[in-house]
């Protein structure tokens, strides 16, 4: 998937700020059931907050990238244990700035 431009990332970060975590990665890590749940959440919401397990920031970043690769989505941001993932729907609800 192509990288999102900076203006779009800033806009999505602003939208995600007020959202609640929808999916949590537990101690079992990334499982097929977790990826399926994230896929459903992305179809429904387009922009999803994910709670990531792990003490090391690089582990959490890798987990976020793996989730994005598994769902063909974009990583918007990672702050602490919370990541934001975006995947446009077939008929997008979120209109990104150009």
List residues bridging with 24 in a β-sheet. 51
List residues bridging with 61 in a β-sheet. none
What is the spatial distance between Cα 25 and Cα 27, in angstroms, rounded to a whole number? 7
pLDDT of 2 higher than 90: no
CB 36 within 8 A of CB 23: no
Q: Is residue 98 part of a domain?
A: no
pLDDT in tens, 60-94: 999 999 999 999 999 999 999 999 999 998 888 89
pLDDT in tens, 17-55: 999 999 999 888 899 999 999 999 999 999 999 999 888
pTM: 0.92
- According to DSSP, the β-strands at 21-24 and 47-51 are parallel
Give residue 38's domain range.
6-86
Number of domains in the chain: 1
CATH number of the domain where residue 54 is located: 3.30.110.60
- Overall size of the chain counted in residues: 98
Q: Is residue 94 part of a domain?
A: no
Q: Is residue 66 part of a domain?
A: yes
Helix or strand run (H / E) with residue 25: none
Q: Is residue 32 part of a domain?
A: yes
């Amino acid at each position: 998937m192509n990288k999102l431009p900076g203006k779009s990332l800033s806009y999505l970060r602003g939208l995600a700020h007020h959202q609640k975590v929808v999916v949590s990665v537990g101690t079992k890590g990334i499982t097929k059931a977790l990826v399926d749940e994230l896929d459903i959440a992305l179809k429904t919401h387009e922009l999803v907050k994910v709670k990531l397990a792990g003490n090391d920031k690089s582990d959490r970043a890798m987990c976020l990238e793996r989730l994005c690769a598994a769902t063909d989505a974009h990583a918007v941001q990672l702050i602490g244990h919370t990541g934001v993932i975006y995947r446009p729907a077939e008929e997008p609800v979120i209109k990104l700035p150009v």
